[in-house]
Amino acid sequence: MIKLVRVDHRLVHGQVAVSWFNSLDVNTIFVVNDEVAKDDFRKSAIRLAKPENSKLVMKSVDDSIKAINSGVTDKYKMLIVVESVADATKLIKGTGEKIKSLNLGGTKPRPKTKNYAKTINLTPTEADQLDELQASGVDVWIKQVPNDDKREFHK
């Protein structure tokens, strides 16, 4: 069962490993990112940040779509973390109706980004992707930590 899909360029860190993990009552953190899936150094670093009582899975976006669609992940209570809006968009579109909500937690400032919230910086392409997800019925919202107020994303 997917409890939350979160865009966070830092992937697994204190807010994810402690705040979100505990508030959602999940047992699995699923990191979905092509670069992480093939980078043993990044995987090792992420393993160090995960809570002791959690299962950690790290897969490419395509392999994650296959796993979710096959039903093999249904037995877990999962927090899915992606590094980018592009990863989230591909994952959501690839899994059909299985993901109906997307949390924007952190996207770093980059060239040609516009600031939408304290920790949300998006390129025009990313903002368009999120707008398209919203138009398809996905609830796109901003919330850095569980105690913050939920704010709907508006382009």
pLDDT 10s digits, 70-114: 999 999 999 999 999 999 999 999 999 899 999 999 999 999 999
pLDDT of residue 92: 98
Tell me how far CA of residue 101 lies from CA of 18, 49, 63, 109, 155, in angstroms.
Answer: 21, 25, 20, 23, 16
If you average pLDDT over residues 139-154, what whole number do you get? 94
Percent of the chain scoring above 90 in pLDDT: 90
Q: How far is Cα 97 from Cα 28, in angstroms, rounded to an integer?
A: 21
* Cβ neighbours of residue 14 closer than 8 Å, sequence gap 6 or more: none
pLDDT of residue 13: 85
* Cβ neighbours of residue 82 closer than 8 Å, sequence gap 6 or more: 5, 6, 7, 8, 31, 32, 33, 61, 88, 91
Q: How far is Cα 81 from Cα 101, in angstroms, rounded to an integer?
A: 13
Percent of the chain scoring above 70 in pLDDT: 100
pLDDT of residue 14: 78
Domain 2-147, architecture per CATH: 3-Layer(aba) Sandwich (3.40)
Ordered by start, the domain boundaries in the chain are: 2-147
Residue 91: CB atoms within 10 Å: 23
What confidence category does residue 34 fall into, taking pLDDT thresholds of 50, 70 and 90?
Answer: very high
